[in-house]
Amino acid sequence: MKTIFTVGNEQQPGDTLLLEIGPDYCCYAFFDPSAGAFNFIRYLSFSETEDDFGELLNEWSTTPRDVVICSGATQALLVPQKYYKPQPSLTAAVYDLDGYQELSDRIPEWQIVNTYALPASLYEQLSRKFPDARYFHAYTPALKMGSGSDAPQQVSLHFSTTHFRVLVKKEGQVVLAQTYGYKAPLDVVYFLLKICYEFGLDQSEVLVIVSGLVERDSALFDELHHYFLNLQLAPAPAYALPPSDHPSYYFTSLYNLAACVS
């Protein structure tokens, strides 16, 4: 694992540990719900084939009072609540879940069940270290907390190191939740243009909200702006961050997770 950056003082942890693990990254934060503030955040990257998190988990000699684990795994499927059944699993019909632990989140605000999977080896490590942890998938807090906009057509993008999550809403309905890998800015543009075509979204009107690891003066942001006129960065939430040079939208997924469990 490689540390990309840290923010704050790890010696002043909060009552809550927020741990998000995706296909190519991991970030965790110590959060103080009573103060509405993050005390420490660390962001790491790793190989997609890496499945041993023992070294990272052993960094915490004591377990915080509340542990919340968020999966950013690509194996996730939003199922309308009226069609959801634990068995047979629709997620298993879409993805090969051999060697995975299947989980689910209910999202009553949207009448949706988010079904997803974690590698079984990772789930076992997490369960041993944090037997009382609560689990979510990253789509869940993003949908529960919303984008802060009531635009009839909107696409929310959240970038990690080599992947990005997409949530698409049209006329008050969630029509897509998906995670894609990318290597170049035009890869992202291609996926978004395809999404607009498939769901009948107007490039000149659709609101594209960007968060995660992307700079406003980057080639990626410039390419997005060439194709989408209504482009904006995710707004800063109410939670306080330790002083740093990093923009608040880097941490949108952690903000959403904190708000979801506070």
Pairwise CA distance, residues 41 & 65, whole Å? 17
| Amino acid at site 97 | L
Count CA atoms within 13 Å of residue 10 on its CB side. 10
Is the domain 1-147+239-262 a CATH 1.10.520.10 member? no
CATH no. for 149-233: 3.30.420.260
Instruction: Name the nearest CA neighbour of 42 among 70, 17, 68.
Output: 17
Joined together, the tokens standing for residue 184 give 């170049």
pTM above the 0.75 mark? Answer: yes
Query: Where residue 27 falls among pLDDT bands split at 50, 70, 90?
Result: very high
What's the pLDDT tens digit per position in 167-182?
999 999 999 999 999 9
Q: Where are the beta strands (DSSP E) in 83-201?
A: 100-107, 112-119, 134-137, 153-159, 163-170, 173-181
CA distance 239 to 235: 12
Q: How far apart are CA 186 and CA 222, in angstroms?
A: 10
Q: Report residue 49's pLDDT band, with 50, 70 and 90 as the boundaries.
A: low
Task: Evaluate if residue 140 carries a pLDDT over 70.
Answer: yes
Q: Angle 172-174-176 (CA atoms, 0-180°, nearest 5)?
A: 145
Instruction: List, for residues 201-231, the tens digit of each pLDDT value.
Output: 999 999 999 999 999 999 999 999 999 999 9
**Alpha-carbon torsion angle 164, 170, 172, 173, nearest 10:** -70
- The dihedral region occupied by 187, where left means phi > 0, alpha psi between -120 and 50, and beta the remainder, is alpha
pLDDT of residue 90: 87
Length of the chain: 262
Percentage of residues in the chain having pLDDT higher than 70: 97
Instruction: Say how far apart CA 69 and CA 203 lie, in whole Å.
Output: 35
Q: Where along the chain do the CATH 3.30.420.260 domains lie?
A: 149-233
139 pLDDT above the threshold of 80? yes
Contact between 225 and 188 under an 8 Å Cβ cutoff? The reply is no
Kindly report, as residue ranges, where domains of CATH 3.30.420.250 are found in the chain.
1-147+239-262
pLDDT in the model for residue 86: 85
